[in-house]
Amino acid sequence: MPSNVPTTFHELMSQCRHTAVHLEMRDSYAVDYEKGPFAEWRQGFRHDPSDRASWWRPWLDLVEETVSRGVTVRRARIVSEPVSEYTRFLFDGTFTNIAAGEQVRWLPRRQASAIALPGNDFWLFDDRFVRWNHFTGEGASAGPEDTEDPAAVKLCATAFEAVWARATPHDQYRIH
C-alpha cells in the first residue's frame, strides 16, 4: 500500500496485495430493533443459500474481487457465551462471507483472556496499515482511525494471529 493513506474502505481493499485481517470483539454493533437486516432477521427472515443474487451485497462483491486477486481475507470474532442475539444474527449470515472467499473463525471470550488485545476492533492490511474501528457505547460507528505506526501494526498482527490460532473455523463452531 502506498504511504498516501486511502480514505475509503474500498480503496484500502483495492490497494491490498497480500492479506486483510479483521478482528471483531463486540457482542453487538448498532442494533436497530425496528428496521434493517437485524430487525428482519428477528422477524424470521433468513437468506436462502441457493439464491445468491438475493444476498450478494456490495461488501461481498468487494471481498470476492479482493480474494480473486490473491489476497487472503480473514475475520476473527471474539464472542461471549452464551452468545448475544446479535451474534446469532451474525453467525446465521456468515455463510455469505464464506461464499465470497473470507475465512471466518470464532473464539469464545473465555479463551481470549490470556491474549494481549488492542482496545478496539481493527482491520490490518498487508501487515503494515491498521484501520481502527471506533464505536459508541451503543455500538454505532464513532469513525475510523488509521495508522502505520509499527508498534500498533505489531500489536494487531500478534493479537490477530493468537486469536486465529485458538479460534474455531465457522463450519465447526457451535453456538452456545
pLDDT per residue, tens digit, the chain (176 aa), is 445 666 899 999 999 999 999 999 999 998 888 899 999 999 999 999 999 888 878 989 999 999 999 999 999 999 999 999 999 999 999 999 999 999 999 999 999 999 999 999 999 999 999 999 999 988 899 999 999 999 999 999 999 999 999 999 999 999 98
**CATH tag, 9-172:** 3.30.870.10
The span from the CA of 138 to the CA of 150, in Å, is: 31
The span from the CA of 66 to the CA of 45, in Å, is: 29
Cis peptide bond prior to 82, omega within 30° of 0: yes
- pTM of the prediction? 0.94
Q: Which residue has the cell 438475493?
A: 54
